[in-house]
C-alpha cells in the first residue's frame, strides 16, 4: 500500500488519506474507516487512480456526497474514491449543460435557475452529487434524471472509459445499467435543458424545497428515502400505517415526520440502522405480504 500511495503522490492525483473515517463523508454520519481514501482533482486523475489501483490489485468503491448511502461500521476494504470539488466543473452551451460528477445537485439546480434554464427544478432539494443522481436515476416531484440526461461519461471497473447515451444507461425507477450490469463511476453528465421564465423556475424550486422541509427530516443526519416504493403503494405510507413512526433501535429511529426516513439521533451505528431496516421489512411483509427493498445503498465490510 505504501508503494501505491507514493505513486499517487508522485502523480499529484489529489487528496490522499489512510484510515479516513467515512462517517465524515456521509449525510447519515455513519461509517467506519477507508483503508485508503482518494479524492482526485480532475477527470484525468480519476482515470489514472483506477489504472494504478488495478495495477496494484486494490479494489475500489466510489462515493459522491454520501447521501443515499449506509456504510458498515467496519468501513470499506481497499480504496474509496470520492468525487468531490475536483469534479465540480460546469459548462453551458445554449441549453445544453455538461457537468462534473462531483457537483452538488442542489447547488447546480440553483445556478441553472439563475440562467433561466428549466429541467432541474425537481432536483432542487436532492442532497447528493450529480454522479450519484445519474447512477441511481434520482427523482422527485414527478420527474427524474432520465428525463434530461443526454449522455454520461463513465469509467468502468475494468478501466475502460465510455460515453453512454440515455438509452444505453437503461434507466428505470431509481436505477440504471450501472447498478444492474456494468458498475462504474459517473465522471460527467450532459443534460438537455430548456429556456424558461426565471421567476417561474425559481418559484417551482422554492415550492419543492419548502415541501421537503415540511415533510422530510433533514434537520437530523439521514440518508434520504430508505426503501423503494412498492408501486402503486408508497413505502412511507405502509410504514406509517403500521404505527412505526418514532420506533427506534439503538441510535437509529424511524422519523416522526416521514415513515420512509431513518434518522441518526446522535450515536447510531450502521448495525442499528440495519436492524431497524430488517424490523420494518418483517413488519410490512407480516401485515401486507409485500416485500419492500432498500433504495439506500448498503456497502462495506460485513
Q: Which residues are catalytic?
A: 174, 225, 295
Q: Is 287 exposed, middle or buried (0-12, 13-18, 19+ CB in 10 A)?
A: exposed
d(CA 295, CA 302): 19
Tell me which residue of 293, 301, 302, 140 sits closest to 207, measured CA to CA: 140
Q: With beta carbons less than 8 A apart as the criterion, state whether 186 and 134 touch.
A: yes
d(CA 249, CA 272): 6
Q: With beta carbons less than 8 A apart as the criterion, state whether 222 and 264 touch.
A: yes
| DSSP annotation string for 249-288 | ETTEEE-SS-TT-EEE-SS--HHHHHHHHHHHHHHHHHHH
Cell numbers describing residue 214: 415540511
Place of cell 477527470: 43
Amino acid at each position: 500500500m505504501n508503494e501505491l500511495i507514493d505513486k499517487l503522490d508522485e502523480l499529484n492525483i489529489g487528496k490522499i488519506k489512510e484510515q479516513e473515517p467515512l462517517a465524515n463523508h456521509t449525510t447519515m454520519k455513519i461509517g467506519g474507516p477507508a483503508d485508503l481514501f482518494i479524492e482526485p482533482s480532475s477527470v484525468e486523475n480519476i482515470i489514472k487512480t483506477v489504472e494504478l489501483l488495478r495495477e496494484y490489485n486494490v479494489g475500489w468503491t466510489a462515493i459522491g456526497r454520501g447521501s443515499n448511502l449506509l456504510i458498515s461500521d467496519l468501513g470499506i476494504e481497499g480504496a474509496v474514491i470520492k468525487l468531490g470539488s475536483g469534479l465540480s466543473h460546469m459548462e453551458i452551451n445554449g441549453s445544453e449543460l455538461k457537468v462534473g460528477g462531483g457537483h452538488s445537485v442542489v447547488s447546480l439546480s440553483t445556478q441553472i435557475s439563475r440562467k433561466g434554464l428549466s429541467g432541474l427544478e425537481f432536483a432542487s432539494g436532492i442532497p447528493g452529487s450529480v454522479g450519484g443522481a445519474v447512477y441511481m436515476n434520482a427523482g422527485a416531484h414527478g420527474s427524474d434524471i432520465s428525463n434530461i440526461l443526454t449522455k454520461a461519461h463513465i469509467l468502468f471497473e475494468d478501466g475502460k472509459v465510455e460515453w453512454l447515451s440515455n438509452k444505453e444507461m437503461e434507466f428505470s425507477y431509481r436505477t440504471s445499467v450501472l447498478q444492474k450490469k456494468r458498475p462504474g463511476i459517473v465522471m460527467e453528465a450532459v443534460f438537455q435543458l430548456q429556456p424558461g421564465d426565471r421567476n417561474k423556475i425559481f418559484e417551482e424550486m422554492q415550492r419543492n424545497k419548502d415541501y421537503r422541509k415540511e415533510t422530510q427530516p433533514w434537520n437530523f443526519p439521514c440518508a434520504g428515502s430508505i426503501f423503494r416504493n412498492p408501486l402503486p403503494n408508497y413505502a412511507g405510507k405502509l410504514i406509517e400505517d403500521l404505527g412505526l413512526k418514532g420506533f427506534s433501535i439503538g441510535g437509529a429511529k424511524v422519523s416522526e415526520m416521514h415513515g420512509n426516513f431513518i434518522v441518526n439521533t446522535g450515536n447510531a451505528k450502521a448495525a442499528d440502522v440495519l436492524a431497524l431496516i430488517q424490523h420494518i421489512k418483517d413488519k410490512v411483509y407480516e401485515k401486507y405480504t409485500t416485500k419492500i427493498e432498500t433504495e439506500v445503498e448498503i456497502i462495506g465490510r460485513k
